[in-house]
């Protein structure tokens, strides 16, 4: 098993791809006199999504016994929760919303608002996934559990050959698993990936308060104020999680787990990866749904995932324009840009990867040789 200190990237040559790209992106912000963080539009967008969130919760609590209204609002709240997490929390943990660390910390509570921990999510995402995407042992996001394998392995369990059939049903429970299980496993562990951690009383207190606030406005208040029976409130709560799970899986999984995904391994002797840091980010990441501006609006630009990995501290509202600069520079350096403009096709590719990874690695190799 590798540790973070043992694995290193290939050094980029002077005047290399990322050096040129970074210069051009810096020049773009300078010429346009733009901040790299959220502009007035970005701040308005954050306020708008928070206001809609508050409106949905208020409508649920004031349903006055109208079960249909309550269930519809719960269902849309599930979708909206992930939007808030990506537009507020995701920007906060990366420090891309503001130059003010306190404001970024406040935005990171967008995760706590929807039931998970912004603190833990930041540890997993910023300190495990982003430094070494798709590197086994280091990237927590690709670690298979007992029910699924997201990476090709030599001897998968027999059940994995059917994972493309049952995985979509497991995905419906994704956010429930995070809220009720994963947060606590991560918090009471002494490491995130291969990074040793020690949580303090402050972090434990924040986790407890966040969970109370979450269950308070999604379960307790609707129980007492909606006028609907407790059974219907639980049904609404579950509908919310089904919608949030579908949204989260659709927004997060296609960017890395698709049928052409690669899983680079460090050299067993030197610990060096085959590519430079920037090349590694590009080769292991895919943009998706880029032909639909609605996707970028609601999902905080997460579909411009290559740009996000290359410039994680830049606000998502700039991604679409930076993409043009990136595409031009990548073409000049002969670097392949992984993109699937259709969200549907990207999701289908993710599904195919589940089918592919459920087969023994040796069989995959034999099939590729035949092709």
Residue 212 pLDDT greater than 60, yes or no: yes
pLDDT at 124 over 90: no
Give the CA distances from residue 51 to residues 46, 57, 124, 279, in Å, rounded to whole numbers and listed in that order.
Answer: 9, 10, 28, 40
pLDDT, average across residues 15-41: 96
Q: Which pLDDT tens digit goes with each residue over 158-205?
A: 898 999 999 999 999 999 999 998 888 888 877 776 677 788 888 889
Instruction: Compute the CA torsion angle 18, 250, 211, 235 (nearest 10 deg).
Output: 170
Average pLDDT over residues 314-329: 95
Q: What is the pLDDT of residues 323-356, one digit of tens each?
A: 999 999 999 999 999 999 999 999 999 999 999 9
**Which residues have C-beta within 8 Å of that of residue 186, sequence separation ≥ 6?**
117, 120, 123, 124, 192
Give the pLDDT confidence of 32-66 residue by residue, as tens digits: 999 999 999 999 999 999 999 999 999 999 999 99
Q: What pLDDT is stored for residue 5 in this prediction?
A: 56
- Span 145-150, mean pLDDT? 84
Q: How many CA atoms lie within 13 A of 193 on its CB side?
A: 28
Give me the pLDDT at residue 193, please: 63
Q: Look at residue 1 in the predicted model and tell me its pLDDT.
A: 52
**pLDDT tens sequence across 213-272:** 999 999 999 999 999 999 999 999 999 999 999 999 999 999 999 999 999 988 888 889
Take residue 65 and report the two structure tokens written for it. 């016994």
DSSP H helices in the chain: 17-32, 40-61, 67-84, 90-94, 101-113, 118-124, 163-171, 174-177, 183-187, 201-215, 221-225, 230-252, 277-283, 293-298, 305-310, 319-332, 343-357, 361-370
215 against 291, higher pLDDT:
215
User: pTM of the prediction?
Assistant: 0.91
Q: Taking 60 as the threshold, does the pLDDT of residue 363 lie above it?
A: no
pLDDT at 196: 75
pLDDT of residue 366: 45
Query: If you search the block for the tokens 């606000």, which residue do you land on?
Result: 315
pLDDT for 2: 53
Give the model's pLDDT for residue 362: 47
């Amino acid at each position: 098993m590798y540790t973070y200190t043992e694995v290193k990237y290939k050094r980029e040559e002077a005047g290399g791809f990322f050096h040129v790209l970074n210069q051009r992106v810096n020049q773009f912000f300078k010429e346009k006199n733009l901040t790299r963080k959220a502009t007035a539009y970005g701040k308005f967008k954050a306020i708008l999504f928070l206001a809609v969130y508050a409106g949905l919760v208020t409508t649920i609590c004031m349903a006055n016994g109208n079960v249909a209204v309550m269930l519809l609002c719960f269902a849309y709240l599930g979708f909206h929760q992930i939007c808030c997490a990506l537009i507020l929390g995701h920007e906060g943990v990366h420090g891309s919303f503001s130059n003010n660390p306190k404001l970024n910390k406040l935005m990171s509570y967008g995760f706590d608002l929807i039931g998970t921990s912004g603190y833990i999510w930041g540890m997993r995402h910023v300190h495990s996934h982003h430094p070494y995407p798709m590197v086994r042992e280091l990237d927590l996001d690709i670690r298979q559990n007992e029910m699924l394998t997201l990476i090709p392995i030599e001897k998968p369990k027999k059940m994995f050959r059917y994972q493309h059939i049952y995985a979509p049903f497991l995905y419906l429970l994704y956010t429930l698993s995070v809220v009720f299980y994963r947060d606590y496993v991560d918090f009471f562990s002494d490491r995130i990936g291969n990074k040793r951690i020690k949580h303090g009383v402050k972090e434990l207190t924040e986790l407890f308060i966040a969970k109370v606030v979450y269950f308070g406005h999604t379960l307790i208040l609707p129980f007492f104020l909606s006028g609907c029976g407790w059974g219907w409130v639980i049904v609404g709560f579950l509908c919310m999680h089904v919608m949030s799970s579908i949204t989260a899986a659709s927004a997060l999984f296609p960017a890395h787990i698709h049928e052409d995904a690669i899983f680079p391994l460090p050299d067993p002797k030197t610990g060096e990866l085959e590519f430079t840091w920037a090349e590694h980010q590009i080769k292991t990441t895919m943009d998706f749904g880029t032909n639909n501006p609605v996707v970028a609006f609601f999902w905080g630009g997460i579909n411009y995932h290559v740009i996000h990995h290359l410039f994680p501290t830049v606000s998502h509202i700039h991604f679409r324009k930076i993409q043009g600069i990136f595409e031009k520079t990548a073409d000049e350096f002969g670097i392949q840009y992984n993109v699937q403009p259709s969200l549907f096709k990207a999701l289908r590719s993710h599904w195919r990867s589940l089918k592919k990874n459920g087969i023994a690695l040796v069989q995959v190799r034999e099939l590729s040789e035949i092709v």
